[in-house]
Amino acid sequence: MSFLIRKCIVNLKNVPKCRNVIVLLQTERHQSQCLTRNTVKRSFADFHIRRRKFHTSQTANKVVAFKLSDIGEGIREVVVKEWFVKVGDKVQQFDNICEVQSDKAAVTITSRYDGTVTKLYHEVDKIALVGQPLVDIDVQGDEDSPAESEASAPAGPKESSSTEPVQKVKVLTTPSVRRIAAQFKVDLSSVKATGKNGRILKEDMLSHLNMNSDSSNDTADVTSIRAVEMPVYQSAKVELLLEDRVVPISGFTRAMVKSMTEAMKIPHFGYSEEYDVTKLVESREVLKKIAQKRDVKLSYMPIIIKAASLGLEQMPIINSSLDSTCENLIYKASHNIGVAMDTPNGLIVPVIKDVQNKTILEIACDLNSLQEKGNKGQLGVNEISGGTFTISNIGIIGGTYTKPVILPPQVAIGALGKIQVLPRFDLEGNVKKAHILTISFSADHRVIDGVTMARFSNFMKTYLENPYTMLLDL
């Protein structure tokens, strides 16, 4: 017990010493921290001063791999159709690099860098993958001379760097405006912009050139840059194959393979009918002259498209689609009618949107514009998607009856044959000359039955055999 008491007394005597030691350690630590802080401040100040005095030239040029970005719609690969640059060419931001063809549309790829093209990764008609390099661009460093002058100058306010001359001016505009500027050798920085955020509109460029929209497609000379066009394949003569040849499926052909594979999972049924369009032929000749005065080319198709839209109003189930689970039927509010077209790049189906709200002349203007873009390969993804009903016109090539294939997720499609002059009996039993249009429908039998398809056809037949009845529902 006495031993324990003596040990406690010794420990109590050491308590002040421990306090002193603790205080001493804390004091030294505080002094060390203060010394460290002062040292850091002085070092940072010295570094700041040295940094203002020390300056090197800009980093040497580096090569950047310009990769093909995601262009949407689940596209993973494209075909390079045309290069607008070659190795050694200098490019700026938003300059056209190449034209690629996906299984949905043609897309123009523009540069995101300023520099010199050092490498092209793909040849024409070769496949390029999304996320993989298209070209290598040697990014330019054009600010060496300002950097050297800054290195020799004394330290001063940083605002003095704002007086350096601007090397390049970035202009916001569209590829079509850049094409016009390249054709007529116009400096975009000299064009007065009226668009949002200083964007140069096509009207601004035309106003700068004192041109109208019709002459904007005229080329300035032979050496000017031509418009972005898809190559037109023309077979002057038939080549005999001496051996088998393997050709990869790409472009619109790949899209057709995918869509038709899905389409054949749909249970089709067909319905065909003949329309006596003699009155339509007569009325179209009158309307054609009126449309010409308004600079609009009017064919039979815009009238047929409008008749189909009026029929869809009477039978909205034709303008519907099944959901992915095939448990719900979606009735579409807009009549987005696709028109199958034969183009140099294959069969495509551009879509005329909101037909129910447009006149026949407006439909004709849209149709003519889509045909022109289709022949040039300039249709965008938005112009070939979103269809709710499709009309195919095989009659311009030949043939009468056919069996069209439905384009998923649509539930019906109509195919027109050629208009033939045939003998028919009138109500009095006399033989007369009549213009007969044959039309063939295919429908999804999971949604539409034969009676529904026949009723829809009868509505179209009424409108086309008596075009004046369309006035009552317009």
Q: What is the set of active-site residues?
A: 445, 449
On whether the CB atoms of residues 82 and 115 are closer than 8 A, the answer is no
Distance, CA of 6 to CA of 174 (rounded, Å): 95
Distance, CA of 457 to CA of 463 (rounded, Å): 10
- How open is the CA angle 457-460-462, to the nearest 5 degrees? 110
Helical H segments across 67-165, by residue range: 144-152
- Count the Cβ atoms, other than its own, within 10 Å of residue 363: 22
On whether the CB atoms of residues 432 and 424 are closer than 8 A, the answer is yes
Secondary structure letter of residue 231 according to DSSP = P
Q: 102 phi and psi, to 5 degrees?
A: -95, -175
Secondary structure letter of residue 346 according to DSSP = E
- Count the Cβ atoms, other than its own, within 10 Å of residue 1: 5
Q: 144 phi and psi, to 5 degrees?
A: -70, -45
Bridge partners, 128 (sequence order):
78
Closest to 344 in 3D by CA, of 448, 251, 454, 444: 251
Residue labelled with tokens 């010394």 = 35
Residue labelled with tokens 């539930």 = 411
Give the SS3 label for residue 175: helix
CA dist 151 → 53, 124, 144, 148 (Å): 7, 47, 10, 5
Structure tokens at 52: 């203002």
User: Given the DSSP bridges, would you call strands 77-83 and 62-67 parallel, antiparallel or unpaired?
Assistant: unpaired
Bridge partners, 96 (sequence order):
110
Structure tokens at 287: 């309307």
Q: Which residues contact 80 (CB under 8 A, 6 or more apart)?
A: 98, 99, 100, 122, 123, 124, 125, 126, 127, 128, 134
Q: 79 phi and psi, to 5 degrees?
A: -110, 130
User: Given the DSSP bridges, would you call strands 115-120 and 96-101 parallel, antiparallel or unpaired?
Assistant: unpaired
